[in-house]
Amino acid sequence: MPSQLKIVMIAAECVPYAKTGGLADVAGALPKALRALGHEVIVVMPKYSSIDEQKFGLRPFLSPMGVWMGNTQEWCSIYTASNDGVPTFFVDFERYFDRPGLYHDAYYNDYLDNPFRFGFLTRAALQLCVELDFKPDIVHCHDWHTALAPAFLKIWHWNDPILSGAASVLTIHNVAYQGNYDASCYGYLGLQRGNFTADKLEDHGRVNFLKGGIQYADVVNTVSPTYARETRTPALSHGMALYLNGRGDNYVGILNGVDYTEWNPAVDTLIPAHFWPHDLSGKAACKAELQRQMGLEVNSYVPIVGVVSRLAAQKGLDLLAQAIEDIVSSMQVQFAILGSGDPGLEAFFRSAAARHPGRIGAYIGYSNPAAHLIEAGADFFVMPSLFEPCGLNQIYSLKYGTLPIVRATGGLDDTVEQYNEATGTGTGFKFWQPTPRAIFDTVGWAVSTYYDRKHHLNQMIQQAMAQDYSWEKSAHAYENLYDKALRNRQA
């Protein structure tokens, strides 16, 4: 592997410009970690109308740029900005990206032209490399949105002087989202009819972006070792087990890192007081402020369980909804909930807060300052996910001494060490069955530890805050993955 790689990262979202989930955090942080290791990295993403050009310093870079999609040449413009030294390029094409949401409308209905939008983004990113004379060693694509990049490389750019030597890496952040669309979009994608087969891009008569990426990429990874094992099984692969198992040791799990310049109670600019493992007094101040802002009884002796999540069944929030009122009725505990999503769950948590004033606080929507305050001020953080590829909030919670209560799946299982009541070791509380009763019992276990085994609680907080999930470690793992991709490409 060359000592310095040239890498183009293609993603549908990227912190700090546009975010709906953990994909954006990875696309924002991993390039910076790779740059710190000496690699040259650029990022390409859409120029959504929601991106504040002035705030982020976007400036025009290239116009027009022609992009061939099937038999159609589309014309777009490119903007650029620097994300802490990492050049980020924005594909400006109003027909596809000048709309309120990233993937769906205000009612959570997917945009019907999503296969056209993200197929275009991917092809435009590769064309931009040609325009820049940027000869990448690695084309790193993320999730179904950009998973066609390996296919484009091998079908159209195999003899391109700029792109022919590039190895492709596909990172799956959530195998449940596959980009499965009617075959009517296939002509626009321009991937040749001979490739619309069951062993490549066809899936029961439809186009499956993710399946195509799995089949064409030089290597494939997902975002935690446990999730890599889980997605090799029919039960948790959403139909992709056959293809992921077919990749053998070219499908691996690499745990996501976190950006400790943003998520660290010693430096966090969004919380009212800083704190450290040796001095937790600032956490007490954060707790009091959290109670005030969420309408909870201001009482330092009552533990708070935090929730920052998309309100969806996948996140286990319907199970929490079935347990939460029994919990606050039978235990001295409070909940601080931040999230949006399923309208039924939104309505439930609003009404639960009204029925249990001072015990349940709910903020329906998203607020980054509120998310930081919950991480800093809560005593526990619950994530009852049915499946969780990696999860980042439990890792944030560890750094803030906010002990996670998690279902042992995916990255949650990889990053949280179970409490040992005999020794006081561990960094959180895990359960296995996805049921309201399991949530009730495990929250009860955490609350009893808070009241009855304070010395164990303090020991766990110290151990949790000492955990290191920085991007540097994960970036080294990606270096090894890139090396394997290059060797596969050369072979």
- The answer as to whether 140 is a domain residue is yes
pLDDT grade, residue 478 (50/70/90)? very high
Helix (H/G/I), strand (E/B), else coil: 76? strand
Residues 312 and 233 in one domain: no
For residue 428, give the nearest of 413, 439, 441, 438 by alpha carbon.
413
Residue 268 lies in a domain: no
Please indicate, yes or no, whether residues 298 and 232 belong to a single structural domain of this protein.
no
pLDDT reported for residue 283: 98
Strand-pair category, 72-83 with 59-69: antiparallel
Looking at residue 300, its pLDDT comes to 97
Residue 396 falls inside a structural domain? yes
* Distance between CA atoms of residues 283 and 463, nearest Å: 16
Instruction: Give yes or no for a contact between 223 and 151, defined as CB atoms under 8 angstroms apart.
Output: no
Whether 373 and 429 map to the same domain: the answer is: yes
Query: Residue 108: which pLDDT band, with cuts at 50, 70 and 90?
Result: confident
25, containing H or E segment: helix 22-36
Asked if 370 and 421 sit in the same domain, the reply is yes
CATH at 228: 3.40.50.2000
Q: Establish if 265 belongs to a structural domain.
A: no
Mean pLDDT value of segment 417-434:
98
- Give the pLDDT confidence of 6-19 residue by residue, as tens digits: 999 999 999 999 99
Contact 319, 434 (CB under 8 A): yes
Q: Are residues 248 and 287 in the same domain?
A: no
Q: For 426-441, what is each residue's pLDDT tens digit?
A: 999 999 999 999 999 9
The phi and psi torsions of 148 (rounded to 5 degrees) equal -80, -5
- The answer on pLDDT for 42 being more than 70 is yes
Partners of 90 in the beta sheet? 45, 79
DSSP 435-461: SHHHHHHHHHHHHHHHHH-HHHHHHHH
Q: What phi and psi, each to the nearest 5 degrees, are found at residue 407? A: -80, 135
Residue 97 DSSP class: H
| Residues 295, 325 share a domain | yes
- Please check whether residues 99 and 246 belong to one and the same domain: yes
Give the pLDDT score at 296: 98
Burial of 21 (0-12, 13-18, 19+ CB in 10 A): middle
pLDDT above 70 (res 2): no
Question: Token pair of 447, please?
Answer: 């609350």
Q: What is the mean pLDDT of residues 365-371?
A: 92
- The HSE-up count of residue 300 (CA atoms within 13 Å, CB side) is 7
Q: How confident is the model at residue 259 (pLDDT cuts 50, 70, 90)?
A: confident
Compute the distance between CA of residue 281 and CA of residue 192 in angstroms, rounded to an integer. 63
47 with 179: CB under 8 angstroms?
no
Considering the domain architecture, whether residues 290 and 379 belong to the same structural domain is answered as: yes
Q: Into how many domains does the chain fold?
A: 2
Going by their DSSP bridges, the two strands 403-407 and 219-222 should be labelled as unpaired
Shared domain check, 217 and 320:
no
Per-residue buried b or exposed e for 174-189, using 16+ beta carbons within 10 Å of the residue's own CB = bbbbbbbbeeebbebb
Q: Which domain holds residue 450?
A: 281-465
Report the phi/psi class of residue 417: left, alpha or beta, with left for phi > 0 and alpha for psi in -120 to 50.
beta
pTM of the model: 0.92
CA-based nearest residue to 92, from 114, 113, 74, 115: 74
Specify the range with the lowest mean pLDDT, choosing from 26-30, 229-233, 258-262, 432-436. 258-262
Distance CA 335, CA 348 (A): 14
The rounded mean pLDDT for the chain is: 96
269 located within any domain:
no
CA-to-CA distance for 276 and 265, rounded, in angstroms? 7
Residue 1, pLDDT above cutoff 80 = no
**Is there a single domain that holds both residue 426 and residue 317?**
yes
Q: For residues 220 and 175, what is the distance between their CA atoms, to the nearest angstrom?
A: 12
In a domain, 273, yes or no: no
Who's near 184: CB < 8 A, 6+ residues apart?
A: none
- Looking at the domain assignment, is residue 275 inside a domain? no
Strands 251-253 and 180-182 turn out to be unpaired
Mean pLDDT of 296-325: 96
**Residues whose CB is less than 8 angstroms from the CB of residue 210 and which lie 6 or more positions away in sequence, other chains included:** 143, 144, 147, 172, 175, 177, 178, 179, 180, 240
Positive or negative, the CA dihedral 9, 13, 18, 24 is negative
The vertex-444 CA angle with 440 and 446, nearest 5°, equals 125
Distance CA 359, CA 10 (A): 44
Does residue 367 sit in the same domain as residue 483?
no
Tens-digit pLDDT profile for residues 407-416 = 999 999 999 9
Q: Please report which confidence band the pLDDT of residue 267 belongs to, taking 50, 70 and 90 as the band edges.
A: very high
Answer yes or no: are the C-beta atoms of 324 and 360 closer than 8 Å: yes
In a shared domain, residues 415 and 340: yes
Q: Is residue 276 part of a domain?
A: no
* Average pLDDT rounded to a whole number, residues 321-349: 97
